[in-house]
Amino acid sequence: MTSLKSHNELLPHLFRQEYTKMTAVLCRHFGLQYMDIAEDLVSDTFLKAYEHWAIHGTPENPSAWLYSVAKNKAKDHFKHVAVFQTRVKGAIEPVLTESEKEVEFSSQTISDSQLAMIFAVCEATNSMEAQICLALQVLCGFSVQEIANAFLAKTETIKKRLQRARDNLRNTNFRIKELTVEDVQLRLEAVLKTLYLLFNEGYYSRTANQFIRKDLCLEAMRLTLLLTENPLTDGPQTNALLSLMCFQSSRLAARMNDLGETVLFDDQDRSLWDTSLIERGNYYLINATNGNEISKYHLEAGIAYWHTTPTDKNKWGHILQLYNQLILIEYSSITALNRIFAIAKIEGNSKAISEAEKLNLLDSSYYHGLLAYLYSDGNMTKAIGHYEQAIQLSKSNAEKQTLEKQLTQLKSRFAS
């Protein structure tokens, strides 16, 4: 047994790590229309853990303990929960025998259930955005605020979108089943976008205290890898997305220093880059070229590839060309600002400032942070002003710390 302190520290981590896996297995078992009940069972499992571990200490294998309790709760559900009977009485009869089968929490079942759940949640009954929002909440454990940040939307908008999406799934009486080729074709775009957003939240978190959340990056990569191993989903876009994730993940260790501070790209220690992941990125990028398709994932993977080849003198020219194509396929403010950074590398800060100020993204911390960087070598007063605005607008503690450090260094230069 471990200490009470470790139990208090461990449970939030386990909740984030295991909650969505357990929910996926139960939803596959009961049927997606009973998602709320599956979530209640898992929540009850964690509540019991909190109460039991506080008295008896943390078990030697906490995850196994949780799965065992969840399994027993699922087994007893039909016999002991009267609310369930009254909610779906009659409607559950056709699937009662199947639901009473033993719930299995093997690693293979968990992986299969999560993958099946992603495709099941991406049901055409809901809009593409609603599908992705629901998948991020149910399967990735995102909070409403995290989803709102990913979509650059208001939290109230996301709450309403999630509620409608859940209601639609319940009304369709949808059950997770084997996917057909048609199912995959209809839903793969939403699935890939979900995994893309999951990885992005891990790579650059805008809501958590951590700037990097490796667990989310690894989970996104694991699920995307599963897609490349299935003939129905092993296509150019899937390989391009996995290539992008590999390239980006190769630099994770260099993006934070020993003090927990963010390290900007130009200041990163290249020896910390993971060459094996860069090689895997190259492998999947080559696989992604098996066809005539060029998606946003191809272009972003190409940009990430050039970032991992610092010795090429023309790399920023290649990067700018890719951003020019990307912004035509799918415009976003972040893409536009990243493109301007590439312009600065090729044509100088003055040209980049002119292009940036045309965007007028006054509510964006990244916009002000970029302008502060661009003005730093010429107009100290404007640079300081933009740094102060960026700090005020940023929602990330790690980003604030980095900006404050840059501002302090700039003021020191200005004073000397």
Alpha helices in 348-395, H assignment, sequence order: 349-359, 365-375, 380-393
pTM of the complete model: 0.78
Q: Determine the Cα–Cα distance for residues 298 and 129; give it in Å rounded to an integer.
A: 22
Q: Determine the Cα–Cα distance for residues 289 and 295; give it in Å rounded to an integer.
A: 11
Task: Kindly tell me the sign of the dihedral angle through the C-alpha atoms of 97, 99, 103, 107.
Answer: positive
Asked whether the beta carbons of 205 and 213 are under 8 A apart, the reply is yes
* Sequence letter at residue 408: T
The alpha-carbon radius of gyration of the chain (Å, integer) is: 24
- Report residue 102: phi and psi, to 5°: -60, 135
Alpha helices in 122-233, H assignment, sequence order: 128-138, 144-151, 155-171, 181-203, 214-228
Pull the structure tokens for residue 86.
């009254």
Q: Determine the Cα–Cα distance for residues 191 and 224; give it in Å rounded to an integer.
A: 9
- Tens of each residue's pLDDT in the chain, 416 residues: 444 446 667 887 787 778 878 888 887 777 666 778 888 888 899 899 888 888 888 888 888 899 888 888 887 775 655 444 555 554 544 444 444 556 666 677 776 777 777 787 777 778 888 888 887 887 777 788 888 877 778 899 999 999 888 888 777 665 566 667 887 888 899 889 989 988 988 888 765 566 777 878 888 898 899 899 888 899 999 999 999 999 999 999 998 888 777 888 888 899 999 999 999 999 999 999 987 889 999 999 999 999 998 777 889 999 999 999 999 999 999 999 999 999 999 999 999 999 999 999 999 999 999 999 999 988 999 999 999 999 999 887 778 888 999 999 998 887 76
Q: Determine the Cα–Cα distance for residues 196 and 221; give it in Å rounded to an integer.
A: 9
Q: Determine the Cα–Cα distance for residues 326 and 209; give it in Å rounded to an integer.
A: 30
Q: What is the pLDDT of residue 5?
A: 46
Q: What is the pLDDT of residue 137?
A: 81
Q: Tell me the pLDDT tens digit for each residue of 98-143.
A: 445 566 666 777 767 777 777 877 777 788 888 888 878 877 777 8
Distance of CA 329 to CAs 69, 201, 225, 324, 326, Å? 48, 22, 25, 9, 5
Tell the burial category of 313 from Cβ atoms under 10 Å away from its Cβ (0-12, 13-18, 19+): exposed
Q: What is the pLDDT of residue 179?
A: 65
Asked whether the beta carbons of 266 and 341 are under 8 A apart, the reply is no
Distance of CA 307 to CAs 142, 144, 261, 311, Å? 29, 32, 21, 10
* Sequence letter at residue 308: T
Q: Tell me the pLDDT tens digit for each residue of 229-248.
A: 888 899 999 999 999 999 99
